[in-house]
């Protein structure tokens, strides 16, 4: 098969790296890709916000399957464009991508289908938002309705912080159209978890549980980012919790989509908060997470390509995925200034000695070759990902690899995976001998009648 991967981050590097090892793969391309991805695939330029351009590119290389990494092309309708043209693509349609593209849509959807989430209200203008704020009080979470590349959520401790967030989103329009309408919701407390599945709308294959580290600084301090690191370990979830998530969140979400006549195919990411009152949905993403995809792809033992082909064909029920029980850890190296205005063009050294360490893979994000040297070209520069027999080993390996890499202004968190270690120490999680391995087979959800 000829494969085209769309995107240019660590997630797409991890996907391309994994797909490339498939015996079914004949040719692999990535657009637009990055310097690291050129090791795995031929990189071609494309405007990811243009479904037509992506389709043209897929046609020109005679792609048998296109796999979409980021949300922007999905929300823009790239899947609909391909389907109309009879070209194979993995991802949700524009209608289904509203689960991520509009937080108002997502919250109302959860309300309609009784999916556990924070209590909320919607505000269409600043005056309405102020009334909701007075009504709810602080702490409160203010969320821009539209896509905002991780900058659209303000978790506000005080009334004043919330007023400021509303002022920025709705009056100064710092996010443009995306922030003109907002969701305002109660703050939830607990541990966060990224629960990602791949689905053809009826069957789901859950990927191993993963924990992201969104704030910039150690100890979850500082501004939110796209993600500063992630670890994946089966010990994050016990049996009971996994079953509860599937029963109360995953199943009703897919049933709800089907009942509303919105078929879903592709990766579906449930951003969850494990509250004392059970797991609740913070957000949906209609794609794999980044950096989550990096440790997840490191743990995948079986071939990804037949799974994705089956998703597109609606035949996922017959597929299995096999995961190693070994945990994986990804530490993101970010450029100076991230998540704000970043400095680019800094020379990167030491990545080859980092990768020479066994069990380590450096996935690139904002990198480019310039005059035969690897230089930084974006906020998140690379994801240093390591796998080992246990979590402490994986963390140690990842940071050993990080210590080899240098570029001017490099910033990273020193505590990726530390939450998992604390759990092991406190004995909160199931012992490794009893811990549930991520099951290999898919779960089939009962098909739901469609209401038109």
Where does this chain bind ligand AMP (CB under 6 A)?
118, 141, 150, 153, 155, 185, 187-188, 192, 214, 224, 271, 282-283
| Cβ atoms of 260 and 252 closer than 8 Å | no
192 binds, among ligand AMP, ligand GLY, none (CB under 5 to 8 A by kind): ligand AMP
CA–CA distance, 114 with 373 (Å, rounded to integer): 53
Residue from the set 81, 200, 212, 233 that interacts with ligand GLY by CB under 6 A: 212
CA–CA distance, 426 with 168 (Å, rounded to integer): 42
Q: How far is the CB of 290 from ligand GLY (least distance, A)?
A: 5
374: CB partners within 8 A, 6+ apart: 35, 347, 348, 351, 367, 368
Q: Is 294 in the site for ligand GLY (CB under 6 A)?
A: no
Q: Which residues pair with 387 in a beta bridge?
A: 328
Q: Which is nearer to ligand GLY, 149 or 347 (CB)?
A: 149
Angle between helices 78-85 and 94-101 (to 10 degrees): 170
Give the SS3 label for residue 274. Answer: strand
Q: Taking CB positions, which residue lies at the least distance from ligand AMP? A: 283
Q: How far is the CB of 103 from ligand AMP (least distance, A)?
A: 7
Q: Which is nearer to ligand GLY, 224 or 315 (CB)?
A: 224
Q: Is 12 in the site for ligand GLY (CB under 6 A)?
A: no
- Please list every residue from 122 through 141 that binds ligand GLY, using CB under 6 A: none
| Cβ atoms of 293 and 11 closer than 8 Å | yes
Q: Which is nearer to ligand GLY, 199 or 285 (CB)?
A: 285
Give the SS3 label for residue 67. Answer: strand
Q: What are the Cα distances from residue 161, in Å, to 142, 166, 190, 242, 282? A: 10, 9, 21, 35, 20
Q: Which is nearer to ligand AMP, 170 or 360 (CB)?
A: 170
Q: Which is nearer to ligand GLY, 7 or 33 (CB)?
A: 7
CA–CA distance, 416 with 217 (Å, rounded to integer): 10
87: CB partners within 8 A, 6+ apart: 55, 58, 59, 63, 66
1 binds, among ligand GLY, ligand AMP, none (CB under 5 to 8 A by kind): none
CA–CA distance, 133 with 91 (Å, rounded to integer): 36
Q: Which is nearer to ligand GLY, 227 or 420 (CB)?
A: 227
Q: Which is nearer to ligand GLY, 256 or 383 (CB)?
A: 383
Tell me which residue of 299, 292, 293 sits closest to 323, measured CA to CA: 299
Q: Which residues pair with 232 in a beta bridge?
A: 210, 328
219 binds, among ligand AMP, ligand GLY, none (CB under 5 to 8 A by kind): none
Q: Which is nearer to ligand GLY, 234 or 292 (CB)?
A: 292
Q: Which is nearer to ligand AMP, 212 or 303 (CB)?
A: 212
| Cβ atoms of 266 and 287 closer than 8 Å | yes
Q: How far is the CB of 337 from ligand GLY (least distance, A)?
A: 20
CA–CA distance, 400 with 171 (Å, rounded to integer): 47
Q: How far is the CB of 397 from ligand AMP (least distance, A)?
A: 26
Q: Is 292 in the site for ligand GLY (CB under 6 A)?
A: yes
Q: How far is the CB of 442 from ligand AMP (least distance, A)?
A: 26
187 binds, among ligand GLY, ligand AMP, none (CB under 5 to 8 A by kind): ligand AMP
Task: Give counts: helices (H), strands (E), the chain.
Answer: 15, 23
- Please list every residue from 271 through 290 that binds ligand GLY, using CB under 6 A: 285, 289-290
| Cβ atoms of 68 and 44 closer than 8 Å | no
Q: How far is the CB of 175 from ligand GLY (least distance, A)?
A: 16
Q: How far is the CB of 281 from ligand AMP (least distance, A)?
A: 9
Give residues in contact with ligand GLY (CB under 6 A): 212, 227, 285, 289-290, 292
């Amino acid at each position: 098969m000829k494969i085209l991967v769309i995107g240019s981050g660590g997630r797409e590097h991890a996907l391309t790296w994994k797909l490339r090892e498939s015996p079914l793969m004949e040719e692999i391309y990535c657009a637009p890709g990055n310097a690291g991805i050129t090791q795995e695939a031929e990189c071609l330029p494309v405007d990811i916000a243009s479904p037509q351009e992506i389709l043209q590119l897929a046609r020109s290389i005679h792609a048998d399957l296109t796999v979409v990494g980021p949300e922007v092309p999905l929300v823009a309708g790239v899947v609909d464009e391909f389907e109309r043209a009879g070209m194979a693509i993995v991802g949700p349609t524009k209608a289904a991508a509203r689960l991520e593209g509009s937080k108002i849509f997502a919250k109302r959807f959860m309300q309609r289908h009784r999916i556990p989430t924070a209590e909320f209200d919607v505000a269409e203008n600043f005056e309405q938002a102020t009334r909701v704020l007075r009504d709810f009080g602080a702490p409160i979470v203010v969320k821009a309705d539209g896509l905002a590349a991780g900058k659209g959520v303000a978790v506000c401790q005080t009334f004043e912080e919330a007023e400021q967030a509303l002022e920025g989103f709705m009056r100064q329009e710092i996010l443009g159209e995306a922030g003109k309408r907002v969701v305002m919701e109660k703050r939830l407390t607990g541990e966060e978890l990224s629960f990602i599945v791949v689905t053809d709308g009826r069957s789901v294959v859950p990927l191993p549980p993963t924990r992201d580290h969104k704030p910039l600084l150690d100890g979850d301090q500082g501004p939110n980012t796209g993600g500063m690191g992630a670890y994946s370990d089966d010990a994050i979830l016990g049996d009971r919790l996994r079953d509860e998530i599937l029963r109360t969140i995953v199943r009703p979400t897919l049933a709800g989509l089907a009942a509303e006549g919105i078929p879903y195919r592709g990766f579906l990411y449930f951003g969850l908060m494990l509250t004392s009152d059970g797991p609740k949905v913070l957000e949906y993403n209609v794609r794999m997470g980044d950096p989550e995809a990096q440790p997840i792809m490191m743990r995948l033992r079986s071939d990804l390509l037949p799974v994705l082909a089956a998703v597109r064909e609606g035949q996922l029920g017959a597929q299995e995925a096999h995961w190693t029980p070994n945990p994986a850890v990804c530490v993101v190296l970010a450029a100076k200034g991230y998540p704000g205005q970043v400095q680019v063009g800094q020379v990167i050294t030491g990545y080859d000695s980092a990768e020479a360490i066994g069990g380590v893979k450096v996935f690139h994000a904002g990198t480019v070759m310039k005059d035969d040297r690897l230089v930084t070209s974006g906020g998140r520069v690379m994801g240093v990902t390591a796998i080992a027999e246990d979590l402490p080993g994986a963390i140690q390996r990842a940071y050993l690899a990080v210590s080899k890499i240098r570029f001017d202004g490099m910033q990273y968190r020193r505590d990726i995976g530390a939450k998992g270690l604390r759990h092991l120490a406190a004995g909160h999680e199931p012992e490794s001998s009893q811990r549930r391995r991520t099951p290999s087979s898919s779960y089939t959800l009962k098909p739901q009648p469609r209401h038109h």
